[in-house]
Structure 1
Amino acid sequence: MPTTSATSSTSATANLVSTLGAGSGINMSQLAEQLAAAQYAARLDQITAKTDRITSQISSASTLRSMISSLASSLGDRVRTGDLAATPQIANASVAQVSKGAATGRGTTTLEVTALAKAQTLVSPALASETAPVGAGTLTLRFGTVSGSTFTADPSRAQVDITVSSTATLGDIASAINAKGAGVTAYVAAGASGPQLVLKGEDGAANGFVLEATEDPLNPGLSALAWDPATNLSRLKTPATDAAFLLDGVSRTSKTNTISDAAPGLSLKLTGTNPGAPTTISYSDPGAAITSAMQDLTSALNEMVSELNKDTDPTSGVLSNDPGARTLRRQLTTLASAQVMPANTTGAPTTLADLGLKTNRDGSFSLDTDRLAATIKRDPIGTGAMFTNGLYGVYATFDKLARTVGSTSDASSLGGSIARLTKLQTTLGTQKSTIETKQEDLRQRLVTRFAKLDTNITGSKSTLSFLQAQIDAWNGKNN
């Protein structure tokens, strides 16, 4: 019996100690963390899953938007190189530089330049010193046309007055003239006979000028700088003249040497003269370059369609229900038939379909090279005009599409979808942060409670140790 009693007492003590956690090896801090995590695990997992999906959606939508933007940018670069439109080429490069105008040229043009546009150059008499004052008063520039010894003022242009102080040097006067920004520049030249003031106007006969002086009687000398053609033509080093040229046999003039759109598809920058020896300007054939560009465009569109099909797959596509992706598909479906040039009655090509682009049944694209070749042969000017910078054309169409697709203000665009998803992603991030804060608060509360419990258990274990010693002593006596 005593043995049975001792065994029962020992078992009861062990059970009590086990119940209170003595010797159990429980990590109270870890237990608190696990309990807090378990409390919010489902909600955090749900937010994480939503965030991961949204991240995938943003990535896919951004990829599509980037593909369209890159396509438009590549087209713009290709158009700016000039090989997709008939490009002018001049036989005598010393006469002029030629470039494309607003339209597309064709055939052959003749150019004969008899005079270049020049600016008036006027010099002052040589002075004794560059640093010595030249007198005081007012210098006045008047503009108009200088012809021989006659000056005809232009009443539409205001005179320019330059105030000269009594201490002003030639350099000061040059600086004062330049500061007016009136189209006349000045500097001081170290001439062989002494410093001279040099004044230069702008190109064109209408930009001639005279220089008048109103002297201060107490500080004379300023009148030495005054000039008009009736007094001293030797100081006029270069008269202001217009450019004169014959284009296709038609006499023309220009106040500058740069003539924009001198003819359809042709801009000129005159650099020399060739009187009596006209040079020719011809135009390159862009047919091969246009065909190559259309093949590249078709391939790029098919890459985009493939990506779009993957993203909008009803079962696996991350953008299967996205409004921006649906809008893009509709835009691509009507792309070939959309007007990219203003409608006209001359038979000029106006759509991408005229350039051979076809939309297949599955939404992909193909290139009808026979139709493209026929369009180029029928109307090379109209075809080339579709590949120029401007409000209309192939580049303008894709640039507009890229801007529309990327618009963040349109909820039905990819840009709108990205903006909406990004906002939702931010909201989920805030929710996750809030839940994690609550989880941490719960963990800290549990740690505090478990710490108190651990203290109580430690006290209970001390009491149990004392009771155990007493029981052992009692059992010893009974033995």
Structure 2
Amino acid sequence: MVSTSIAGTLGTGSGVDFTALANQLVDAQFATKLKNLTATNTKLTAQISGVGQIKSGITAFSTSLTALIKGGSLATQPTSSNTSLVTTKALPGAKLAGFTGSIEVRQLATAQSAATGPIADKSAPIGTGMLTLTLGTATVTDGAMTDFTAGSGSPINIAITSTNSSLTGIAAAINARNAGVTASIVSDADGSRLVLKGPTGASQAFTMTATENPGFEGLSALNVGVGATGTTIGSSAKDAIVAVDGVAVKRSTNSISDLIDGVQINLVGASVGTKVTLGTSSPNANITQSVNDFVDTYNQLLAVVKQETDAKTGALSGDPVAKSLTRALAQLTVTRLVPGSGTDAPATLANIGVMTNKDGTLSVNAAKLTAALAKDPAAVEAMFADGTGASGNGLGAALAAITDNAVSTKYGLGASADRYTKAQSTIADDQAKISDQEDKLRTRLTAQFAATDARVAAYKATQDYLKQQVAAWNAPKG
């Protein structure tokens, strides 16, 4: 560069370090602007970091509480006295406090299964044509179907061509139709068998009938139904039979959700005459632990928010969203969490012993919490219901509403983060402009100083010449 070449020779004529002088003048010109921009950028970095910490903290808090509530450990759970016969599970929104009952499993729901005889090569063609699956009810005796009544549904046709006429291809074609009957291949030393299985329930028996293409017969060996000789019925389609509090009912599956309100009953085994007692387990111990965990986590989050919004040292001391979050969190203990509860029933965290201290932190009055659980466990449990909305639908919903507002990119901390990031981008642009201005000023000063230095060098040369002439004039003459 020309300016670099000039800078390397500056001062040779005058003895003045014009390069250093140019740099000093440029630095002095822009020092204040750069200092202010750097300070603002540092502040913005701290603000972005502060926003990130608060967003991360409250999001993790809300997500953890929601997961805990959805996990069911804070709700009354149904119990079974014999889990080898019956297991139970609470359905969403179930209110099971005080629930009792009994159930007798007389028969499990089963699915029809059928298997062909062994086929030596599962990849060899069997035949082409059409296989038709029909669902209905059947009578099975000693592995043979003796009677079948088709149901109201339409039969399912499955085309078998030369491209899928092997045992493997036929199984894949049946499964591709998603007719409710699944196909698999079981192989042993005798060969491979096509195994078909339908859904559970007496009305889910099935037949499979082949319509063969002339000259390409063979599919009829796979027929399942009355008179079929190439297949064997391994199990028949049956309904589950249970007696709930002495009342016998049938269901098509072993997972039953419509017998007892709020309870999913899973049938595991059958034992005629054996009555299984159904009851509930209280979540009181889990609620007590969760209330204490909630308070601990709340206090940790509040410490972060206070640090970032401190009037003297907080990076977000001037951020209105961060300050509003502090106010919203402070309202949690008095927010109504249970809809329509009576005047005496606990409806807020304060009602069950969660107290707000002078410094804004929370603490638990253990005696008050224990008393609330003993007096009105259902109302306390309702505070941890899996709901939505800022109030009246449980603590998880209330905290989630605060979190959504806090992290919103329209009006929450998300918007603050976007604003701070854009400001940093502007600063980067300003710094780039100043850097360009510095380069231009340095180049201009360098050129000006170079011209000055050249003139000084010329003056010095003239001076040296005149000195020589004067010396010559004054020299003694011989």
Q: TM-score, normalised by structure 2?
A: 0.83
1:105 is the counterpart of 2:96: yes
1:162 alignment partner, one of 137, 148, 158: 158
The runs of at least 4 consecutive aligned structure 1 residues that moved more than 6 Å come to 20-24
Confirm or deny: 8 A CA contact 2:13 2:454 kept in the other structure: no
Alignment of 1:281-360 (within 5 A): 281-344=278-341, 349-360=346-357
The alpha carbon displacement at 1:352 in A equals 2.9
Q: Tell me the equivalent position of 2:449.
A: 450
**Cα distance in 1, alignment partners of residues 326 and 179 from structure 2:** 57
| CA distance 1:232–1:49, shift in 2 (3 Å) | same
Q: Tell me the equivalent position of 1:26.
A: 16
Query: Secondary structure in 2 aligned to 1:336?
Result: helix
Aligned pair count reads 456
Query: Secondary structure in 1 aligned to 2:133?
Result: strand
Q: Tell me the equivalent position of 2:467.
A: 468
The alpha carbon displacement at 1:121 in A equals 0.5
The alpha carbon displacement at 1:150 in A equals 3.5
Confirm or deny: 8 A CA contact 1:22 1:457 kept in the other structure: no
Q: Tell me the equivalent position of 1:57.
A: 47
Could you list the runs of 5+ residues in structure 2 that have no partner in the other structure? 1-9, 141-145
1:179-235 CA-partner distances (Å, limit 9, x unpaired)? 222222213334676543211122233332111222223323322322224656972
Confirm or deny: 8 A CA contact 1:89 1:98 kept in the other structure: yes
Q: Tell me the equivalent position of 1:184.
A: 181
Moved more, 254-263 or 61-70: 254-263
Confirm or deny: 8 A CA contact 2:13 2:456 kept in the other structure: no
Confirm or deny: 8 A CA contact 2:78 2:280 kept in the other structure: yes
Confirm or deny: 8 A CA contact 1:122 1:238 kept in the other structure: yes
Query: Secondary structure in 2 aligned to 1:182?
Result: coil
Could you list the runs of 5+ residues in structure 1 that have no partner in the other structure? 1-19
1:404 is the counterpart of 2:401: no
Confirm or deny: 8 A CA contact 1:136 1:215 kept in the other structure: yes
Confirm or deny: 8 A CA contact 1:80 1:389 kept in the other structure: yes
The alpha carbon displacement at 1:138 in A equals 0.7
Moved more, 121-130 or 37-46: 121-130
Moved more, 198-207 or 458-467: 458-467
Amino acid at match of 2:285: A
1:225 is the counterpart of 2:222: yes
What root-mean-square deviation, in Å, do the aligned CA atoms of Structure 1 and Structure 2 show? Answer: 3.2
Confirm or deny: 8 A CA contact 2:224 2:231 kept in the other structure: no
1:346-379 CA-partner distances (Å, limit 9, x unpaired)? 9765433344333456544333434422332233
Confirm or deny: 8 A CA contact 2:121 2:192 kept in the other structure: yes
| CA distance 1:124–1:451, shift in 2 (3 Å) | same
1:236 is the counterpart of 2:228: no
1:152 is the counterpart of 2:149: yes
1:123 is the counterpart of 2:115: yes
**Cα distance in 2, alignment partners of residues 58 and 299 from structure 1:** 26
The alpha carbon displacement at 1:457 in A equals 3.3
The alpha carbon displacement at 1:25 in A equals 5.0
Confirm or deny: 8 A CA contact 1:21 1:457 kept in the other structure: no
**Cα distance in 2, alignment partners of residues 247 and 400 from structure 1:** 41
Moved more, 330-339 or 207-216: 330-339
Moved more, 356-365 or 235-244: 356-365
**Cα distance in 2, alignment partners of residues 348 and 368 from structure 1:** 17
| CA distance 1:300–1:136, shift in 2 (3 Å) | closer
1:316-359 CA-partner distances (Å, limit 9, x unpaired)? 44333322023213312322222334335597654333443334
1:134 is the counterpart of 2:134: no
1:424 is the counterpart of 2:420: no
Q: Tell me the equivalent position of 1:73.
A: 63
Confirm or deny: 8 A CA contact 1:343 1:350 kept in the other structure: no
Query: Secondary structure in 1 aligned to 2:334?
Result: coil
Confirm or deny: 8 A CA contact 1:121 1:239 kept in the other structure: yes
Q: TM-score, normalised by structure 1?
A: 0.83
Identity among equivalent positions (%) equals 37
The alpha carbon displacement at 1:38 in A equals 1.6
Confirm or deny: 8 A CA contact 1:104 1:384 kept in the other structure: no
| CA distance 1:452–1:196, shift in 2 (3 Å) | same
**Cα distance in 1, alignment partners of residues 224 and 383 from structure 2:** 54
Query: Secondary structure in 1 aligned to 2:73?
Result: coil
Moved more, 223-232 or 204-213: 223-232
| CA distance 1:326–1:233, shift in 2 (3 Å) | same
Query: Secondary structure in 1 aligned to 2:410?
Result: coil
1:40 alignment partner, one of 27, 30, 40: 30
The alpha carbon displacement at 1:89 in A equals 4.4
**Cα distance in 2, alignment partners of residues 474 and 243 from structure 1:** 136
**Cα distance in 2, alignment partners of residues 48 and 133 from structure 1:** 79
Q: Tell me the equivalent position of 1:14.
A: none
Amino acid at match of 1:105: L
Confirm or deny: 8 A CA contact 2:79 2:278 kept in the other structure: yes
